Structure 1
Amino acid sequence: MSRTVTAGLDGSPESRAAADWAAREALRRGLPLRLVHVHEWQPYSSVYAPLAGAVAAVDPDVQQQWAESVPREAAAVLAGRHPDLEISAGRVSGQPAAALAAAAEESELLVLGSRGLGALAGFLVGSVASATVAQAVRPVVLVRAGEKGDDEHRPDLDGLVSEYTPFRDVVLGIDLARPHDDLLAFAFEAAMLRGTGLRVVHGWNLPASYGYNPAAIALDLEHELTGAQAKALTQVLAPWRAKYPAVDVVEHSVAGGAAHHLIEAAADASLVVVGRRVRRAAAGLHVGPVTHAVLHHAKAPVAVVPHD
């Protein structure tokens, strides 16, 4: 099966923003767009109430009609905006997170919506989006409600923003203990497709022996540790700089956790790229503390790339 960019739809404003973002990304990548609505029948749900009241909401036929209309109507809107884009739309039945994760397997990437809480609070990641991110074996991008195409671009000299002004940078969070190729390739490709720069953030911690007495670190040792981490980051990125010479890379090796620095960088980014190690914890699937924090608080769209 040929690869697509897939967007999950549930009729909400955040999922419509995700579908619009997915359409633009599909055009950038020269891929078709697939719109998917996962229908899980419920005996009562207020999401159907606007159609014909609470009584009609329990009718399976009404629910089916609504489920079929969601991707069809979104496809019509996007086709009007992007007449050159190949778009398919449909629905599948089942448990939403599992169905979306399955759809992601056939996709270049999966795009979902998250409820935006403003510039400071960022995302409110719902249970379906969280579970999908934790299960998917392909990259998943989460997009805030209200996200527009212009938000990806920098203002011009007059302070105006449009699709014709340069893209904001792509931001990559990397762990040098596991600098996986899939994560690096996704970030460099995203920056190249946008014709913009890549800011790479690596957070590192002091050796455990200094954990209870940071004052014991001499200034020269601190400089030595900082220099060693910066050098290691440069070495990891060197072959990728050579592979993507058109991408302007800025490296940030920072002491302390990376989450805060990534969230701060997201305020002026077109996309934030983070990784997720594919493994099962004792308590089930999870995404790791840095990725979890970025998903819940970053202002820009966030791509989560699974890796071994």
Structure 2
Amino acid sequence: MLRPVVVGLDGSRESLAAADWAAREALRRGLPLRLVHAWAGGTSPDESELPELEAPRYWARRILRGAMDRLNESYPQVYLSADQISRPAADALIAAGDESELLVLGSRAFSGFGGFMAGSIALATVAHAARPVVLVRADQTLEDEHVPDAEGHASARTPYRGVVIGVDPASPCEELLAFAFESASLRSAPLTVVYAWRLPYVPKALEAKARRDVRRAAERTLGAVLGPWREKYPTVEVRELVEEGRPAQQLLEAAQDAGLLIVGRKVRPARIGMHTGPIAHAVMHHVRCPVAIVPHE
């Protein structure tokens, strides 16, 4: 059975932009799209008939119906389904995400303002989801996925923007690379693989030689990790970016003109706290393109 692309909805501009992006991704992957709206009302039989819950229940149905109508008109080739889930939002999204190929959420850049997809709910979902989560901002459009035309104007007819991924070859990154190469292949887009390294302490007189040696070792290590993936995806153009510096800063610079940025999140043994890691945390706040956070061991 095909896993769907799942998108969380709350009726905001951010979640509607996420739904559009999710529909396009479902088309690229040949997968169904599932719309999910969650709210904590009516979670028990005694509560389900309370009259004060009818208004929020009505608005929840309206959000789903409106999104269904909009997506059916814009993306008639996508098979759509919709579910209203009576559970706390983060719990519902995590559960729906676990059954998906990927989960798509609207992002308000986690500015601290409240909202269904902002703050603790989005962070908890990203931190605990077992499948990749993609965060999409409200201003993302179809044209933003493509490079500008010859006159510099936004266009949906030009090639896709590149995909960027940050890796650390010293840690397991198979899930990350699989997602990145597949994403680049589906878009016929180039893939930039970023590996940021730091120079260990050495006496100042030896710094220049040590820097050359560490860079060469980093390039060899990354090349060895990417070798099997280049063979599996021979049509994907791969650029290896091995630079000294902080990983988050290198990713922010590499992703300035990207169509998708992919970073990893190490899976924790228990679903406690909201740890996403410093790199994922930084790019979620500052990168303008959609960001995919891929859990890995």
- The TM-score with structure 2 as length reference comes to 0.91
Which residue is equivalent to 2:198? 205
Which residue is equivalent to 2:257? 268
Which residue is equivalent to 1:140? 133
Which residue is equivalent to 1:23? 23
CA distance in 2, matches of 1:70, 1:87: 14
My pick for the range that moved more, 61-70 or 174-183, is: 174-183
Which residue is equivalent to 2:2? 2
Instruction: Quote how far apart the aligned CAs of 1:254 are.
Output: 1.2
1:62 is aligned to 2:55: yes
How big is each residue's C-alpha offset from its partner over 1:74-126, in whole Å with a ceiling of 9 and x where there is no partner?
A: 011010001111111121011111110100111100000111599xxxxx952
CA distance in 2, matches of 1:265, 1:95: 37
1:226 is aligned to 2:215: yes
Contact 1:135–1:285 under 8 Å retained in 2: yes
RMSD between superposed Cα atoms in Å:
2.0
- The TM-score with structure 1 as length reference comes to 0.87
1:130 is aligned to 2:123: yes
Per the alignment, in what secondary structure is the counterpart of residue 284 of structure 1?
Answer: coil
CA distance in 2, matches of 1:228, 1:281: 35
Which residue is equivalent to 1:107? 100
> Structure 1 residues 217, 292: CA separation in 2 closer, same or farther (over 3 Å shift)?
farther
Contact 1:169–1:271 under 8 Å retained in 2: yes
Per the alignment, in what secondary structure is the counterpart of residue 279 of structure 1?
Answer: coil
Which residue is equivalent to 1:94? 87
Contact 1:116–1:144 under 8 Å retained in 2: yes
Which residue is equivalent to 1:252? 241
> Structure 1 residues 117, 156: CA separation in 2 closer, same or farther (over 3 Å shift)?
farther
Which residue is equivalent to 1:46? none
How big is each residue's C-alpha offset from its partner over 1:244-263, in whole Å with a ceiling of 9 and x where there is no partner?
A: 01000000111121101111
Contact 2:5–2:32 under 8 Å retained in 1: yes
- Tell me the matched-pair count: 284
Which residue is equivalent to 1:172? 165
Contact 1:4–1:33 under 8 Å retained in 2: yes
Q: Which amino acid aligns with 1:114?
A: S
Which residue is equivalent to 2:292? 303
Which residue is equivalent to 1:279? 268
Instruction: Quote how far apart the aligned CAs of 1:285 are.
Output: 3.6
CA distance in 2, matches of 1:283, 1:102: 15
Which residue is equivalent to 2:280? 291
Contact 1:114–1:126 under 8 Å retained in 2: no
Q: Which amino acid aligns with 2:260?
A: L
4+ residue segments displaced more than 6 Å: none
Contact 1:68–1:90 under 8 Å retained in 2: no
> Structure 1 residues 260, 281: CA separation in 2 closer, same or farther (over 3 Å shift)?
farther
The sequence identity of aligned pairs, in percent, is 52
